Amino acid sequence: MGSSLRFEIPATLADPLGSPLSNTTTIRMPSGVADTAPGNNTDTDVNTVVAAGSLGDVGVVISNPAPVLTPGSSTTYEVTVTNHGLTAVSNVGLSANAPASITYGNWTCTATGGAVCPAASGNGDIAETLALPVGGELVYSIAADVSPTATGPNITAEAAVTLANDTDLSNNTSSVSTPLGGMGGGGGGLTAIPVNTPGGLALLSLLVAGAGWLGRRQMRQRRKH
């Protein structure tokens, strides 16, 4: 009682794409043996034939942990490509080009989930052709330099992936916009320092203390005159 047998049968598909594929299995009791539940002696499985890779869903995310960029500084961008789909995919195109005022330097690639980096490292803009198993992921870490003459309120970096028959195009592009602090040009411009950091808070305390000392000094000088 409670025993079971499992059969695995390799098969080659001959049905055209888009057609339903139906398989039926039936069991019979030996002669002279009554089946107490004949209603479960037959089962049918129906699937639709699709092209290999047509259930792939690749997505890309670009990020930068820096809260603010300053002219002449360095930063690191991270580009993550993931296969969220139900089948392995190949011929995935990845592009990540440096935006204006940014120069991409050396980059490295890290693979997880059975994926393999086409190249472990490189330099400059990224233009790669990828293959990803289900759940496979590639992470590119890009060293970047901000131009000393960078201007504008923000710097926006973008990345994109392409895949034929991708089931979800909404995650094929990604962008990250980082505020640009200070004024470039190398001519003694001012640099914005965020005060929500330990260094910024310390500097703010010094400025407040200095302003208080200067005010008291000016008050004493007025009293002397």
Structure-block tokens of residue 103: 């120069």
Distance from the first to the final alpha carbon of the chain: 110
Q: For 160, list phi and psi in degrees, rounded to 5.
A: -145, 150
pLDDT in tens, 46-101: 766 665 556 789 999 999 999 999 999 999 999 999 999 989 999 999 999 999 99
Tokens of 3: 């025993």
Instruction: Give the SS3 label for residue 225.
Output: coil
Tens-place pLDDT, residues 159-170: 999 999 899 999
The pLDDT of residue 96 is 98
What pTM was estimated for this model as a whole?
0.63
Architecture of domain 58-179: Sandwich (2.60)
The length of the chain in residues reads: 225
Helix residue ranges per DSSP H, 27-139: none
Q: Which residues contact 79 (CB under 8 A, 6 or more apart)?
A: 60, 61, 62, 94, 96, 126, 139, 140, 142, 159
User: Which pLDDT value is given to residue 189?
Assistant: 43
Tokens 């930068």 label which residue? 64
Q: Which H/E stretch holds residue 121? A: strand 121-123
